[in-house]
Amino acid sequence: MLLVENVYKTFFPGSPNEKKALQGVSLRLEDGDFATVIGSNGAGKSTLLNAVAGVFPVDRGRIVIGDTDVTRMPEHLRARFIGRVFQDPMMGTAAGMQIAENLAMAMRRGKRLGLRWSENAAEYRKFRELLVQLDLGLEERLYSKVGLLSGGQRQAVTLLMATIRRPELLLLDEHTAALDPKTAEKVLAITDRFVREGHLTTLMITHNMRDALRFGNRLIMMHNGRAIVDVRGEEKKKLQVADLLALFEKASGGEADIPDNMLLG
């Protein structure tokens, strides 16, 4: 479902600020894989997601989503294949529009849009049913402006928008990092349910080793712009935080300190 093949990306090449963000990253996600991505600050995690999403062109390599080579495809065209939730709850929704209007826009992702806005009663009934699943009382606030919601409520709506039309690939860029622990846990539970029930191929960046171990069937660790560890299935289920620390130490050659937020989130 996702192929990243020998991808390189350098920012500000040839300048004093040159940063080799991705150095030959290769990975393949099969249909339904839920991969958590972990690594220290500057490891290349968000750069990888942005490269897949088409935020910037890569220098070398190839990116394929499903059967489509998207390497040179612009971000707005690539969006029809991708659902995405950002770290900042303010991104991914239109604050001045109602919850219903945001969901209606998400329903039309990848379709040609006209100037005429149409309200479909059956569609709105579906929105209400979907909001009930979030268990946040938002089904009673269908016509409230999204800007009035809390960060956790907004992330839950963004997650719903990202998955309301089944994407070929779901990208989650530390989407609970800005939330308090209780709200983050709720959003993670909703995420896990949506991914499992929708059989969604998913890449989720997290700084939290425990969350990286708890969720998904694969774990990818990045360091210095490379994927240095890729474990899955039963091997992943058996891992503990101590094992993950040992893997990081071995794979990085002991050259990187692990920040506290990567241990506990």
Q: Quick check: is 6 in a domain?
A: yes
Mean pLDDT of 117-145: 84
Spacing of C-alpha 137 from chain mean position: 25
- Give the number of domains in the chain: 1
Separation of alpha carbons 187 and 176, rounded Å: 7
Amino acid (one-letter) located at 184: A
Contacts (Cβ under 8 Å, ≥6 apart) of 234: none
Average pLDDT over the chain, rounded to an integer: 88
Residue 65: pLDDT over 80: yes
Separation of alpha carbons 221 and 229, rounded Å: 5
Q: Quick check: is 162 in a domain?
A: no
Q: Quick check: is 80 in a domain?
A: yes
**Mutual orientation of helices 181-198 and 151-163 as an angle, nearest 10°?**
10
Looking up residue 26, the CATH number of its domain turns out to be 3.40.50.300
Written as six digits, the tokens of 167 are 């994407």
Q: Quick check: is 102 in a domain?
A: no
Residue 117: pLDDT over 90: no
Range of the domain at 56: 2-93+151-156+167-264
Q: Quick check: is 247 in a domain?
A: yes
Q: Quick check: is 129 in a domain?
A: no
Q: Quick check: is 176 in a domain?
A: yes
C-alpha pair distances (Å), 35 with each of 101, 108, 206, 240: 31, 27, 11, 17
pLDDT in tens, 207-248: 889 999 999 999 999 999 999 999 998 999 999 888 888 888
Mean pLDDT of 122-132: 88
Q: Quick check: is 141 in a domain?
A: no
Spacing of C-alpha 263 from chain mean position: 20
pTM (two decimals): 0.89
